[in-house]
Structure 1
């Protein structure tokens, strides 16, 4: 019963996020639109990342249109955990729709009530992805772009995780840390996920409260291309969504 309610709530949040995006685009406030609100998790284990991602779960890495409130794979100390995408802080007694917590701005992560406890407790995680989607308004329509790696290695998002009790069950959840866009991504959106390479990810996991490392080591080399507008519908889910058009 608990998980049925949670799933229903998640679908409502996805619809709410889509509505919010549409409203923002219609009002042409492009730089305030939801950032990193969709990604593709369809990945296979990478030899380069095996040290940090020892327990791989194919079940959690098989999707092409992941939305907030979905269950995603996040790595903590080498182990893969199923977590809700959208952090619910440890002190929370319910899942609130009042605030969007699937992204956490690095500039304020240590002070925001939803994230500061996880940050102070050094509850870091890695969230691997094949790539993520961003949108531009072209001829009055939302045109999606896919951001992925040139070298076919996973994009690994820096994240925070937390646990709380919801009803009779324990809920694990996480958020993706974002920063100001760099390089060619600046023209796509003013924010980007913090994405790390193998060495910088290892270093970041071992050092407490180090925002400087995240800012200095964030990757900026990406392949960006247009994809089909079907991805705008969060219920669409197949490999063709990431094919260039």
Structure 2
């Protein structure tokens, strides 16, 4: 795949160690209702809850620059490479303005080419259940607010799955990132910001219309490569 992190699951309920940052996620503080739906098969162009320094807001996945004449760019903007984000016209002004966000997820899907097509895998915290927070950027164009997920070269065991991975935040650097005071250093070989594992899941996830927690179920637990 040319792009990675094209689907994720964000039906997060237990905040665990993230409670101080995500205590209101994904509810609207004033009305007590989610600002946008959560799910188990979120795809680009969907509106989902995203956290920025001022709070949690509904944002479209796939950043639309403020200067864009088209509300739906003809090229993919759901991911932005951390190495070039400061230079690309689509993301440059957003990066320079430090319009940063974090995207809380249970995990994301990645695909590997196999003999009978592309096999989806689900990537999550090693011990399951814990939140992953992807670093992102947001932008406003008229009434539309949109975001992109930052990616970097895969490191450690994740390079077995794909050559790129999301840029993750932890509880210590999330708030400084949102407030514009944290900069990412490149990962060294074998280093990971999150303790990740992955396993194969049903190809039902290939259809964006498929939904439900069963999409996260392991495809099989018989083989030696069931989980990594």
Could you say whether these structures have the same fold, taking a TM-score greater than 0.5 normalized by the shorter chain as the test?
A: yes
Q: Could you tell me which residue of structure 2 aligns to residue 76 of structure 1?
A: 52
From 199, 202, 209, the counterpart of 1:228: 202
Q: 1 CA distance for matches of 2:24 and 2:131?
A: 16
Q: 2 CA distance for matches of 1:33 and 1:89?
A: 21
Alpha-carbon contact 2:173-2:182 (below 8 Å) kept: no
Q: After superposition, where does 1:158-173 map in structure 2 within 5 Å?
A: 158-165=135-142, 170-173=143-146
**TM-score normalised by length of structure 1:** 0.79
From 89, 105, 111, the counterpart of 1:135: 111
Q: 1 CA distance for matches of 2:46 and 2:145?
A: 12
- The count of corresponding residues between Structure 1 and Structure 2 is 209
Structure 2 unaligned regions, length at least 5: 28-33, 220-228
Residue 209 and residue 49 in structure 1: after superposition, are their counterparts in 2 closer, same or farther (change >3 A)? closer
Q: 2 CA distance for matches of 1:218 and 1:115?
A: 25
Q: After superposition, where does 1:111-190 map in structure 2 within 5 Å?
A: 111-151=87-127, 152-165=129-142, 170-190=143-163
Q: 2 CA distance for matches of 1:218 and 1:85?
A: 25
Cα drift, residue 92 of structure 1: 1.8
SS for the counterpart of 2:205 is: helix
From 9, 14, 20, the counterpart of 1:51: 20
More helix per residue: 1 or 2? 1
Structure 1 unaligned regions, length at least 5: 1-31
Greater Cα shift, 189-198 or 148-157: 148-157
Alpha-carbon contact 2:123-2:199 (below 8 Å) kept: yes
